[in-house]
Amino acid sequence: MKHYIVTESDFDLRLLSMLIPAELIVTTKIINSGGYSSALSVGKTLILKPENLDSNIILFLSADTNDESKISEKLNFIKSYIGYDDRLEIILVKPQVASILFESPDLIGRLAKMKGVEYDIALGRYIPDDVLKSFKITEEEILNTISQDDILKLSAHGDVKNLIEILKHHPVIN
């Protein structure tokens, strides 16, 4: 058994690679699908492959909204598109995966200071991509700025915590 985590971007893949504990990452393959539609296709393909019958497939995607009814609709659409399967887990991060970074105000402060910009931590939780873009900072700079202390804080984000719990409670049997 192996865990597959499907993300929408290379940044999401690299961020999760930092946040998932080492003992779980060794049995996990994180896939950058290149976007939402591609993530659904990859998820469906993984479910259908006979060699993955004993694998867990986790879609870790941006909800692209904070509206619970729209999130529920998106979740239902994904389930109907891919098919209902016990091996499938879907995590929709509100509103975007980048919002996880705002769990560490210290990290956001360091990123903003690097570029000398003002920021609003609360606003970042609602429109994280826009706030991060205002910093004029690259994804590489963001990832390189994350400290061990930040990793602990970011791992406490509800969706990351949920992901780690799923990985722990579905152990890989060699």
Q: Do 90 and 75 meet the contact criterion of CB atoms below 8 Å apart?
A: yes
Per-residue model confidence (pLDDT) at position 149? 96
Tally Cβ neighbours within 10 Å of residue 80.
9
Total count of domains within the chain: 1
Tell me, yes or no, whether 106 lies in a domain.
yes
pLDDT band (50, 70, 90) for residue 38: very high
Question: Rounded to two decimals, what is the model's pTM?
Answer: 0.93
In a domain, 174, yes or no: no
Inside any domain, residue 60 = yes
Mean pLDDT of the chain: 93
Residue 146 lies inside a defined structural domain of this protein: yes
Element (H, E) at 57: strand 56-62
The domain in which residue 121 lies consists of 3-169
For residue 52, the model assigns a pLDDT of 92
- Could you identify the residue written with the tokens 């694998």? 55
Q: Where are the alpha helices (DSSP H) in 20-104?
A: 22-25, 36-48, 68-82
Q: Give 122's pLDDT tier (boundaries 50, 70, 90).
A: confident
Contact criterion met (CB below 8 Å) for 170 and 56: yes
Cα separation, 88 vs 90, in Å, equals 7
59: β partners: 6, 90
Say what percent of the chain tops pLDDT 70: 97
Give the number of other Cβ atoms within 10 Å of residue 113's Cβ. Answer: 11
pLDDT band at residue 171 under the 50/70/90 scheme: low
Contact 127, 95 (CB under 8 A): yes
The token pair at 128 is 């994280």
List alpha helices for 49-102, DSSP H: 68-82
Average pLDDT on 148-170 reads 95
